[in-house]
Structure 1
Amino acid sequence: MKLPIFIADAFTATAFRGNPAAVCLLESALEEDAHQQIAREMNLSETAFIRKLQPTDSFTQSSRFGLRWFTPVSEVPLCGHATLASAAVLFHKIKNRNSILTFVTMSGELKARRAEDGIVLDFPVYPTFPQDFHEVEDLIKAAIGDTLVQDIRYSPDTRKLLVRLSDSYDRSFLESLKVNTEPLPAIEKTGKVRGLILTVKGEPGGQTAPYDFYSRYFAPWVGIAEDPVTGSAHTVLSSYWSQQLRKKEMRGRMIPPLSLDAWVLNSRLCKCSTIEP
């Protein structure tokens, strides 16, 4: 079996930065187990599989495709950076002629649009609901110890737990915070939580561009200790911070550990637009 597979560094214009995703083009149906086997062998946070919806479709001319995402250990319902990588491969490597691509996914139809300075993704925005601290206390304590927490929300659509740290903390604190993800799957094994978002409120202006919020994302339940770039987390962050800040257009920055590169995302209510860092 021979399949074309690309590796694309998403959210960057520089090689070996951003967040890499594998993109596999499927001319025909693949045996179900083969998806996971390929993703395990690629060993990236996500491997995307683009499939033709009709036998007569063309990767060059068609505008609608099926799309699935797999981590090395399981399929996931939504992945932002691997969707961006998929669109980039179709637009720039396969030379797809369309200005807008529609991906049919487990999370509904997602669109990727050519833009003068990159690719714009239209993603859903999911609401969050207050979460009782005592129900997730053990999980949070194991992850961040005695770090002060200001708010806890839960997104049932994505099964992500959003933990807002105290406003007394800033970006540098979040960036340097040591998060212990190893025990989390054993603590939370009901399936309710599949991802943990840590976020802090942004700082006002100054010498650098202002950001409304900062975040980090952890998903050991699907084999990813920490994901340096994740668009799916912003489907939750956008909803939460829009409500908190009473804004419909925001600028957020996801900051991976100090050893990794960061990226920037423009977050709009009902739309997430990627820009290069």
Structure 2
Amino acid sequence: MEIPVYTLDAFTNLPFKGNPAAVCPLLHELNEDLYHKIAAEMNLSETAFITLINPADTFTSGKRFRLRWFTPTTEVDLCGHATLASAAVLFQYKNNVNPTLVFETRSGALAVSKKKEGYIMDFPLNPPTKEDHNDFKDIIEAIVGNHPIQEVCFSRDTKKLMIRLPDSCERSLLTSLKVDPVALLNSDSSGRVRGVIVTMKGSPDCKPGFDFYSRYFAPWCGIPEDPVCGSAHTVLGGYWSKKLGKKKMLAYQCSSRGGELELEVRDDGRINIAGEVTAVLQGVIRL
């Protein structure tokens, strides 16, 4: 059996920046064990598998597809950058004729549309609620050490904890954080947290005018640090929209690779997440 595979860098227009995802278009479903083995072999934060829903469709003509995402260790409910990459494969390599594609996923139907540069994803909004710092003190210490924090919030739907640094902090504090994934993993074994976002207010007056910055860590899912995480921005978007009084925002995830996300919080309880994609590899998995 031969399975086509593509590697694309999402939320960037440059190779080797943004967040790399592997994408495998499949003519039929694989057995569960094989999904996990391929994702472990690719060893990226996510490997996406696209399958046809209607047997009469092709990757060129179809409008709706099934989409699943796997980290090197587990299947996840929602992934932004691999959804962006999957749409790019269908539009760029399969020459899909439709302006909008819909993916059936564990998080419901997710639409992706072409824009002038890049793509726009229609995602659920997962605004977090404020929490007591002391309820997560071990995780906070593992992430930021003794640095001060301004606020702690938690999204129960995504199991993502959000730690906000004070506005007085320089961006260099966020970029210089050195997080030990083993220590972070050991800081909570209850299963209530699956990922931690660290964020701070941006500098909208400085070009290109980012409204907020973030980094994201998820060792519980086999991802020490996710370079640019779309699903984390379903949490961040709702939070910062209220804090800043803005519906449209420009965000930057300042991992070592870095990536830009355009956000628009909608009145219907969803969020548009837009970004560019750069393809870097095309190959075949032979089994």
- TM-score normalised by the chain length of structure 1: 0.95
Structure 1 counterpart of 2:182, which letter?
Answer: E
Could you give the per-residue CA deviations for residues 195-227 of structure 1, whole angstroms, max 9, x where no partner exists? 000000112414x22211100000000111111
Q: 1:14 offset after TM fit, Å?
A: 2.7
Instruction: State the SS of the aligned residue for 2:84.
Output: helix
- Matched with 2:41 is 41
Structure 2 counterpart of 1:237, which letter?
Answer: L
- Matched with 1:240 is 239
- Matched with 1:116 is 116
Q: 1:54 offset after TM fit, Å?
A: 2.3
Instruction: State the SS of the aligned residue for 2:49.
Output: strand
Instruction: State the SS of the aligned residue for 2:150.
Output: strand
Structure 1 counterpart of 2:39, which letter?
Answer: A
Instruction: State the SS of the aligned residue for 1:272.
Output: strand
Greater displacement, 213-222 / 14-23: 14-23
Residues 85, 277 of structure 2: 8 Å contact kept: no
Instruction: State the SS of the aligned residue for 1:4.
Output: strand
Residues 8, 20 of structure 1: 8 Å contact kept: yes
Moved over 6 A (4+): none
Instruction: State the SS of the aligned residue for 1:3.
Output: strand
Equivalent-residue separation in structure 1 for 2:275 and 2:115 (angstroms): 10
Equivalent-residue separation in structure 2 for 1:213 and 1:226 (angstroms): 18
Structure 1 stretches lacking a partner, 5+ long: none
Q: 1:241 offset after TM fit, Å?
A: 0.4
Structure 1 counterpart of 2:219, which letter?
Answer: P
Could you give the per-residue CA deviations for residues 94-134 of structure 1, whole angstroms, max 9, x where no partner exists? 11111100000011111110111121111111121111211
Does the alignment pair 1:264 with 2:260?
yes
Does the alignment pair 1:273 with 2:269?
no
- Matched with 1:213 is 212
Residues 161, 195 of structure 2: 8 Å contact kept: yes
- Matched with 1:255 is 254
After TM superposition, list the pairs within 5 Å mapping 1:3-82 onto structure 2. 3-82=3-82
Instruction: State the SS of the aligned residue for 1:139.
Output: helix
Does the alignment pair 1:203 with 2:199?
no
RMSD over aligned Cα atoms: 1.4
Does the alignment pair 1:225 with 2:224?
yes
Instruction: State the SS of the aligned residue for 1:251.
Output: strand
Aligned residue pairs, count: 273
- Residues 118 and 204 from structure 1, CA distance in 2 versus in 1: closer, same or farther, beyond 3 angstroms? closer
Equivalent-residue separation in structure 2 for 1:184 and 1:17 (angstroms): 25
- Residues 144 and 197 from structure 1, CA distance in 2 versus in 1: closer, same or farther, beyond 3 angstroms? same
Equivalent-residue separation in structure 2 for 1:192 and 1:264 (angstroms): 29
Equivalent-residue separation in structure 1 for 2:204 and 2:231 (angstroms): 25
Structure 2 counterpart of 1:191, which letter?
Answer: G
Equivalent-residue separation in structure 2 for 1:157 and 1:26 (angstroms): 29
- Matched with 2:281 is none
Higher relative contact order (CA 8 A, sep 6+): 2
- TM-score normalised by the chain length of structure 2: 0.91
Structure 1 counterpart of 2:257, which letter?
Answer: D
Instruction: State the SS of the aligned residue for 1:40.
Output: helix
Identity, % of aligned pairs? 49
After TM superposition, list the pairs within 5 Å mapping 1:168-207 onto structure 2. 168-206=168-206
- Matched with 1:165 is 165
Structure 2 counterpart of 1:3, which letter?
Answer: I
